[in-house]
Each structure stands twice: as structure tokens, then as C-alpha cells.
Structure 1
């Protein structure tokens, strides 16, 4: 979770607060719908008054811990008591399953329907059978993207759809256009990302509307950084991950789709 309102010093104090809240309210039943609406109103008012620099609250939900509520800002998750006197940042983990409920919730919120991706506006790379599918949003001037692309060469039997989103300034726009408009865009992309060979200068007219459409799609789905990965099951991962993690996610997506 990388928004400007991250807090740096929560740690043990917040963990203690969660435990204390859970212990004092563990025997209380879940609130009825009417009470949840009252909590929703109270939390929105309290957070707006006490933390005016925060964005508006989008949703308030119950959690498995009685008396502790999920407060959602876009795709950011925080937790609070019913009165909005405490706001907690961090993962809620189900210790029985060792699963982060916070991360599972964020993945659900950020999921992208793979079938809704504008694949005609992507560079396409097929490796081996190409049976598995992966979409990646990248900027050609992104250093992390270059690191990611080097690791991606180790992943086999996959079709990769690369969406160019020039978000790092005018140079990114120029380089993205040069790659997209080259005679062999995929080769130009690989030359630049893996071998630092600049794409050839664009000569004549070129239909580069795909770049604008990719940017519009990324804004709609709040893809604000590169690389951003979308797997076939809709799961989205922000940031560069290694080939082993890509393999794990591809397998997980395939299992879900089977």
C-alpha cells in the first residue's frame, strides 16, 4: 500500500491496540445492519474531521474481529474502532490459514477482467506453447521494468501482452511511439529493454492511438506505476517480481481457471 498517507511508526503499539480491542469485544455479536450504517456515518464524520488530509472514505465493512471495522479509501485498507478514535494500518492475518485477509481484499479490489483487456493495443510475445497468459503495463524508461523484463525471459510456455503506458514524461512518450511505430515493434521493445538499443526514428505518419487508449485504460483501473502485472484470473500485482514468483502466480491463475 503506497499512498502518501502511509504512516511510518505503527508497529508494536498498533498490534497491542488490535489485540486489546479484540479481547475486550470478542464476545459481542456482529452488529445488525442498522448499527453498521450508524458506524459507517460515524467513521466517515470522525475521519473527515480528524484527518482532513485523507481522501474521502469509500466504504466501511465489518471484519472477523468484533468491534473492528475495515475502512476503505479507493484500494487502500485501514482498520478502525466504531467511533473513529483509532486508525490502524497493516495486514490482518488469519493465523489458522496464515493468509493475509488484507492482501486478499486488496487483490479483489484491484482485479482486472482479463477478457476486458484491449489486447489489440498490446505488443505480443509468445514463448513455447503460449498456453498461459500474462498482461504487463510498462514504461520504456522504467528501470524496474527493464529488470523485470530480464527475469521474464526465463518464463516458458506463456503469451505476454505488453501495454506501453508512457507515464514518466515526454521522453517516455517519444520512445513508446518509436517502438510502437517501428517495423517490428516487439523486436524494438526487446532490443531496448534487454540490450539498450534505441528504437529507430519514426518516419512518416503512424497510428499511435493505442498509446492514448492504454493510458486511458490504466487511469480507469488505477494502474499508476510500472511494471503492473495482470494474470489470467484477474489478479493484479504492482511492481517487479522475479521469475519464480511469476511462475507461482501463473500456476495459481491456471488452477483457478480450470
Structure 2
């Protein structure tokens, strides 16, 4: 409860209600059509009905998450929170975490702590300066019991130079070593294989990654940007 209140006091959550139309909709496709009409500048990536809230959770590419009424008349832009007698739970972060945790570690590049107490999942780009700063602190995180799991997020998109580098790393015989070498500025031998880089990039867009590094804590909290190892350890409660 206290951590949630600290989060809410740190950020001002502004949720604005928009009228979409005066028609009554009965299906998911009608709700999506209303959103597309109201916000044509965004591409709709997904929409799922949240049974508890009775709202459609609509994910926009490079845009906010929307929570849309089933009649299609209104939506709220922002995170969805569930309140009970003792706590506040961020349902939006919970849903993002579920999608990330569904990815097998075999598809990630993982720097495992010997005595694991927690883990973080990091969307990374090999050419990102702050990603390189974070990677230098992986040994400190491992020593503190934090496993670091990397997902690929080439900021320039699929088909970019960074994307090609990350495919080569994921397809190499030793991805951990080549990821470290890439973050030190080394040339990466080109490799090709069936790989998850494009899917991980798309997932990043879906869960709201806007830059790198984007760090997801093991409790679902989303940290957009670099934090020193000591601060990350504190955030994890270690």
C-alpha cells in the first residue's frame, strides 16, 4: 500500500475522458472502429476485455494504453488500478509483466546471479549509451543476487543496423559474450538464424517501451531509463 502511494505521489496521473460517439456498440470490432475513428494517428495493436473492470484494454503502437467502455462511448488514457481494503494494485503493470514473464529465458540473454534473490528484465539496444552504462554494472547486480535478463529492442526498428547486430548476437555461439563485446564497441560477425529479435521489439512497443534501457522489475514495476546498480538493488528491496 505504502509503495503504491509513494508511486502515486511521485507521478501525477491525469486521465481524461473522451466521447467517442453516440452509438451503442456490442462487439470488440465496433469498439476498435470507434477508437480508430477518434485517434486515427495511432495504430491499434491489441484489445482485450478486462473482466474485472468491464473495460476493453486497447494498446496503441507508440501511444498510451486506453481503457474503453463496452459501449464504445468513452475511454480513459492511463494505467488501471484495482483497489481493495488493504492495497492498490496496478493492473496495467501486472498485465505487462505477464506478457514478459511468458517469454522463455532460452529466448533471452541472461546473466544469472549465483544466489538469485530477484531478477530484472531489460529491453536493450547495443548502440545505446545508457544501456552500456547499465551493462557495466551487471557484475555488481549479480553479486547482490539480481539476475539480469535482456530482451532486444533495436530503437531504429526492424531492419536497421542495430537490428542486424542484435540478430547476429542472438544467433552467435555465445550470445552473452558477444552482447558484452557489442556494448564495448566491438564489430559483430554477421550471423543468421531463426531468432526472437523482431518479436521482442514488437513486444516492447506493446508494453510501452519508448527508449532504452527500459527495466522491468520482478514485481512488474516499469522503470524507463538507466538506474545505477545500487539504486536498482534498493528498488528491489534487497
Equivalent position of 2:57 in the other structure? 72
Local SS of the residue matching 1:112: helix
1:93-130 Cα offsets, whole Å, 9 max, x none, are 7698784x6xx121122123666433233333234524
Shift of 1:138: 1.8
TM-score by length of 1: 0.53
Matched, 1:124 2:98: no
Contact 1:192 1:198 in 2 (8 A): yes
Gaps of 5+ in 1: 1-10, 18-37, 253-258
Distance 1:116 1:95, change over 3 A: closer
Q: Which has the larger radius of gyration?
A: 1
Distance 1:63 1:113, change over 3 A: closer
Hey, what's the Cα distance between the residues in 2 that align with 1:62 and 1:96? 20
Equivalent position of 2:161 in the other structure? 171
Matched, 1:141 2:127: yes
Q: Higher strand fraction: Structure 1 or Structure 2?
A: 2
Distance 1:78 1:136, change over 3 A: same
Equivalent position of 2:5 in the other structure? none
- For residue 177 of structure 2, the aligned residue among 177, 187, 202 is 187
Equivalent position of 2:150 in the other structure? 162
Hey, what's the Cα distance between the residues in 2 that align with 1:139 and 1:127? 22
**Superposition pairs for residues 1-258 of structure 1, below 5 Å?**
44=31, 47-48=34-35, 51=38, 53=40, 58=47, 70-74=55-59, 76-78=65-67, 84=73, 87-90=75-78, 99=88, 104-112=90-98, 116-150=102-136, 152-155=138-141, 156-166=144-154, 168=156, 169-177=159-167, 179-180=169-170, 185-193=175-183, 196-199=184-187, 201-202=188-189, 206=191, 208-209=192-193, 212-219=195-202, 222=206, 225=210, 226-232=212-218, 235=220, 237=222, 239-242=224-227, 243=229, 246-247=232-233, 250-251=236-237
Distance 1:89 1:159, change over 3 A: closer
Contact 1:110 1:236 in 2 (8 A): no
Number of residues paired by the alignment?
206
Shift of 1:249: 5.6
1:4-47 Cα offsets, whole Å, 9 max, x none, are xxxxxxx99978x8xxxxxxxxxxxxxxxxxxxx6866x93994
Distance 1:105 1:187, change over 3 A: same
Hey, what's the Cα distance between the residues in 2 that align with 1:61 and 1:113? 15
Local SS of the residue matching 2:198: helix
Contact 2:121 2:216 in 1 (8 A): yes
Gaps of 5+ in 2: 1-11, 18-23
Hey, what's the Cα distance between the residues in 1 that align with 2:106 and 2:181? 21
